[in-house]
Structure 1
Amino acid sequence: MGLFNRKPKLPPAARPPLEADERVLAWAAAGNGEGDGVVVASNRGLWLPGRPHRIGWHDILKATWSGRELTVTPAEPVAERDGYLVVADGPAETYLLVDPGDVPHQVRARVTRSVAYTRQHALPGGSGRIAARRVAGVDGLSWTIRYDPGTSPDDADVRAETDALVAAARAATAPADV
């Protein structure tokens, strides 16, 4: 994009309620541009039309860009365990971005950058993905497990194995004492 081809600033009426240390990185009108809202990527997360709060980069399980549409699948907390959350796929949300600008790039880069650890593990009767994510503005990592379909998160053996796997992953990723 040349010097004179810059995208206009985000209109004040479309600006989400940013926190004091939050800044807009990119934005795009959603839909046909006739009041469908805007998608705003900030340094803290993604603001989507119709949502009163942003989705933190660490809370996005999947994001895909088709060349015209951005589809975002947020994590939905299912249970809180000792030191980690059990999450599931929330409803996928798709937005047509006619003039996407830098939004797809920012979404990909920020979601990818939030991942500090991810590994698929076999579990009794199924499997799941353990992940550690960086949370913008917070020290440390946020740990989650997303069980694959058919895996019973309430099964005692699954829970015990998950606890052990998360503990081992935390120990393996802990900073070394110097």
Structure 2
Amino acid sequence: MGLFNRSKKLPADRRPPLERDERVLAWAPVAVGDGTVVVTNLGLWLPAAERRLGWHEVHKAIWSGRELAITAAEQVAERDGYLVMGDRPVDTFELPEPGAVPAQVRLRVTGSVFHTVHHPLPGGGVRIAARRAPGVDGVTWTVRYDPGTRTDDPEIVAETDRMVRAAQEASALAD
């Protein structure tokens, strides 16, 4: 199986439990074990995962030329009009025959981002983002604080609320 040869179908024993409208776009076996990274129109199935990671849940994806490193986001708090997100541990997979997996991951993660901006805050900063989730109308607004930012400081929370509202209003005007 060559680097660009993905004409073969994903073997049935490596196929995750797809939803009715979910399609496999690319796949690649991992170097160690019998795991497979599977890219679909709805998200990313990682080896030994019990569920699909939606494109809007992927905070960062890095392709080294041999390894795919995925940093997924997790909700740590919910505030009025947005979610506060944190990073889960990085999952790294060596893909000796990556095929279209890296390109599809990049395309899908980037395509899920509707709006993103970083603002400095005392002691750190915050990234405000609006992401599209497959099969869901509209966007989900999230914030991710830089390490060291005091997320429990009432002034930081109030400033974050103000910045998110301003981003939401600006994006509504752009529609």
Q: Say yes or no: TM over 0.5.
A: yes
Report the counterpart of residue 105 of structure 1 in structure 2. 103
Letter in 2 for 1:10: L
Which of 59, 78, 87 is the aligned partner of 1:61? 59
Q: CA offsets per residue over residues 90-127 of structure 1, 9 Å max, x none? A: 10000011111100000000001111110001223321
Which of 119, 126, 129 is the aligned partner of 2:127? 129
- Structure 1 151/23 Cα, relative in aligned 2: closer, same or farther at 3 Å? same
Percent of aligned pairs with the same residue? 61
1:7 partner SS: coil
- Structure 1 111/6 Cα, relative in aligned 2: closer, same or farther at 3 Å? closer
Matched, 1:96 2:94: yes
- TM-score, normalised relative to structure 2: 0.93
Report the counterpart of residue 31 of structure 2 in structure 1. 31
Deviation at 1:77, TM superposition (A): 1.1
Report the counterpart of residue 48 of structure 1 in structure 2. 46
Matched, 1:72 2:70: yes
Q: CA offsets per residue over residues 54-82 of structure 1, 9 Å max, x none? A: 11111111101011100000012111111
Gaps of 5+ in 2: none
2:31 partner SS: coil
Letter in 2 for 1:65: W
Deviation at 1:152, TM superposition (A): 1.2
1:49 partner SS: coil
Take 2:159 and 2:43, find their aligned partners in 1: how far apart are those partners? Answer: 32
Take 1:98 and 1:76, find their aligned partners in 2: how far apart are those partners? Answer: 29
1:174 partner SS: helix
- Structure 1 165/46 Cα, relative in aligned 2: closer, same or farther at 3 Å? same
Deviation at 1:176, TM superposition (A): 6.2
- TM-score, normalised relative to structure 1: 0.92
Gaps of 5+ in 1: none
Take 1:174 and 1:43, find their aligned partners in 2: how far apart are those partners? Answer: 27
- Structure 1 175/10 Cα, relative in aligned 2: closer, same or farther at 3 Å? farther
The answer to whether the Cα contact below 8 Å between 1:124 and 1:157 also exists between their aligned partners in 2 is: no
Take 1:6 and 1:165, find their aligned partners in 2: how far apart are those partners? Answer: 45
